[in-house]
Amino acid sequence: MPTWPISSIKELLEPTLNHMGYELYALDQSGQSGRTLRISIDHSAPITIEDCERVSRVAGPLLDRSNLIAGPYDLEVSSPGAERPLRTPEEYDRFNGNRVNVRYRSGDSETVVEGQLVAVDTAGIAVQAPGARRRAPVIIHIAWEDVVAGRLAVAI
């Protein structure tokens, strides 16, 4: 499997994507042969197929001219997805009010809570989880240093 200079590719693409109004959310090399470059984009409105096509039409020629990727490759452009990871306090704040799934440290172990994100501040987050056996919902406060991983959750 070839190894591509992902940080150099990011430096190449990021200014152009930002100028186009997109955030370069994630960038990775994948696929069975390692010849697929996956670009995940984001912006304030939901990402559409037209957004992905627009970025692909611009990113492909930039990559081809840069010679950062030797040989043929596949380019995939997508959104972060419905169950996107939440990586920063700003992302938690942006999705305040949405359903989330958060894994956090609780003493010497880890716990998972799924519910509505109801507060975000400098100390951490608060998630309103359903109560057990028809009880009222419970608000769980989680300090930033205890958050292990979080993502948006799709309600079923």
145: closest CA among 95, 89, 94?
Answer: 89
- Range with lowest mean pLDDT among 8-22, 43-57, 61-75, 128-142: 128-142
CA distance 15 to 2: 25
Q: Domain locations in the chain?
A: 6-78, 85-152
For the chain, percent of residues with pLDDT exceeding 90: 83
Cβ within 8 Å of residue 65, ≥6 positions away: none
95-137 pLDDT per residue, tens:
999 999 999 999 999 999 999 999 999 999 999 998 767 788 8
Q: Which CATH number fits domain 6-78: 3.30.300.20, 3.30.750.80, 3.20.20.70, 3.40.50.720?
A: 3.30.300.20
Mean pLDDT for all residues in the chain = 94
CA distance 87 to 51: 22
70: closest CA among 14, 24, 29?
Answer: 29
76: closest CA among 59, 95, 94?
Answer: 59
Strand, coil or helix: 6: helix
Yes or no: say if 55 and 39 are a contact pair by the CB < 8 Å rule: yes
Q: What is residue 136's predicted lDDT score, i.e. its pLDDT?
A: 84
Cβ within 8 Å of residue 63, ≥6 positions away: 9, 12, 13, 37, 69, 73, 75
Q: What is residue 56's predicted lDDT score, i.e. its pLDDT?
A: 98
125: closest CA among 147, 151, 109?
Answer: 147
Q: What is residue 156's predicted lDDT score, i.e. its pLDDT?
A: 67
Third-level CATH fold of 85-152: SH3 type barrels. (2.30.30)
CA distance 74 to 76: 7
Q: What is residue 131's predicted lDDT score, i.e. its pLDDT?
A: 74
Average pLDDT of the segment spanning 70-90: 94
Residue 51 tokens read as: 């957004």
Average pLDDT of the segment spanning 43-47: 90
